Structure 1
Amino acid sequence: MHPPQVLVVDDDLEIRKLLARYLKGQGLRVQLASRCADARECISNYQVDLIILDVMLPDGSGLDLCRDLRTMRSKIPVILLTALKEDVDRIIGLEIGAADYLGKPFNPRELAARIRAVLRRDKDNRSIQSDASCYFFEGFRADPFARSVINSEGSEVELTGAEFNLLLTFLDRPGRVLSRDQLFDLVYGRDGDALDRSIDVLISRLRRKLANGESNQMFKTVRNGGYQLVAKVTQSDGQR
């Protein structure tokens, strides 16, 4: 069985060399690209298991490339590299389906840890989803295997990867109050920064996308506690 293959997309030659050397030393296979066009060619020609994607590239935005991948229903997880203070890029990245993000400058050891966490979570999700039954709540049906949510009218609700992972976290724990730290760990597989508001952003977007008429309070904010899914949840095998 081949080790995972990581595609590093960054226009900085020294960063590409550094990451290629370090990640290969961690037992990973590595492909390199300096532009969006090169990245698309690698994705077409190789089995890519994860993409390390810089936001700023010579021929376009890494955010646009990430968005294009999700539009094509690609399941390849993406870790964005952003300027340290560019919170807007991080939030947009999460909104369009990035699995994680890391600010520049970064420690290669931390990036390797993020890669392992994302790959492990992706593998675990696929394993769980292959045997999972559907969840039913407030007129919606969530299918963990297809990673889809269907509303009461039979239309699909478009969710990003991070939004779907957060929803599944709540559906697995209905009625339980989950703190931001717990949600960050369950969704991203790592501890969150005290100033990081990405969970709040994802909750806000889920509330909007799953607003069913006037029923838009299925996610309750618990003061000094976190968030709680208050909707009744059942599964197709009759559980809950």
Structure 2
Amino acid sequence: MLARRPFDLVVTCTLVAADGLLVCDAIRDQSTIPLILLINSATRRERIAGLDAGADDCLSRPFHISELVARIRTLMRRAKTSDASGPATAGLRFGDWRINPRLRLVYDPAGRATSLTAAEFDILLAFCRNPGRVMTRAELLDLAHVGVGKPGERSIDVHIRRLRCKIERNPRRPQFIKTIRLGGYIFTADVERDHLT
């Protein structure tokens, strides 16, 4: 369905966590669409696995419908803000990587589109718009519009770890995203405007 028509957001419900992870993998193979995973009676480990598989948010059933609606509104607000027209949508380049904010795509040094979750994309974009500046977890939460409800500031660490695995040559010794003890993170790459084609 994603290949045939455009959607703004995906909410997927599964009874078993493993099924949810398979759905996340399949979606992330073709899209950076905002994705919420709902799992029946999920443990904390299963919710974290859902985030690692590509979900932007993960809820365990039972939950209150108003919480799900609030999380959907937050993801939709983030997507709308990211798609806004103007100078902020100019293409960006760091190292041999390229970002197209308007299409929400990231291209690796070989020119291939890299699969990022909506949260990962927003965090990377926030870094590229603020290179060389220490950014706190709270600031990244605000700029990326993630962490609604229980996840809190430490949810940023999960997103950063996943992002490093995708853009760093050696995620254990990152060259782009450095951790600042008691401070947050800093993006050390030189960022330039990129002419989008």
TM-score by length of 2: 0.77
The answer on whether the counterparts of 1:219 and 1:228 sit within 8 Å (CA) in structure 2 is: yes
Unaligned runs of 5+ in 2: none
Within 5 A, what are the aligned runs for 1:1-240? Answer: 49-56=8-15, 61-73=19-31, 75=33, 77-82=34-39, 86-128=43-85, 132-191=89-148, 193=150, 197-212=154-169, 216-236=174-194
The answer on whether the counterparts of 2:178 and 2:185 sit within 8 Å (CA) in structure 1 is: yes
Shift of 1:167: 0.6
The answer on whether the counterparts of 1:207 and 1:217 sit within 8 Å (CA) in structure 2 is: no
Question: How far apart are the structure 1 equivalents of 2:186 and 2:85?
Answer: 23
Larger Rg: 1
Unaligned runs of 5+ in 1: 1-39
Question: How far apart are the structure 1 equivalents of 2:32 and 2:187?
Answer: 29
Question: How far apart are the structure 1 equivalents of 2:30 and 2:96?
Answer: 27
- The answer to which structure, 1 or 2, has the higher relative contact order (CA under 8 A, 6+ apart) is 2
Shift of 1:168: 0.8
The one-letter code of the counterpart of 1:52 is: V
Structure 1 vs Structure 2 CA RMSD: 3.4
Moved more, 214-223 or 111-120: 214-223
Shift of 1:131: 6.8
Question: How far apart are the structure 2 equivalents of 1:47 and 1:140?
Answer: 26
The answer on whether the counterparts of 1:99 and 1:188 sit within 8 Å (CA) in structure 2 is: no
The answer on whether the counterparts of 1:117 and 1:190 sit within 8 Å (CA) in structure 2 is: no
Shift of 1:83: 5.4
Shift of 1:227: 0.8
TM-score by length of 1: 0.65
The one-letter code of the counterpart of 2:131 is: P
CA distance 1:97–1:188, change in 2 (3 Å):
farther
Shift of 1:47: 7.0
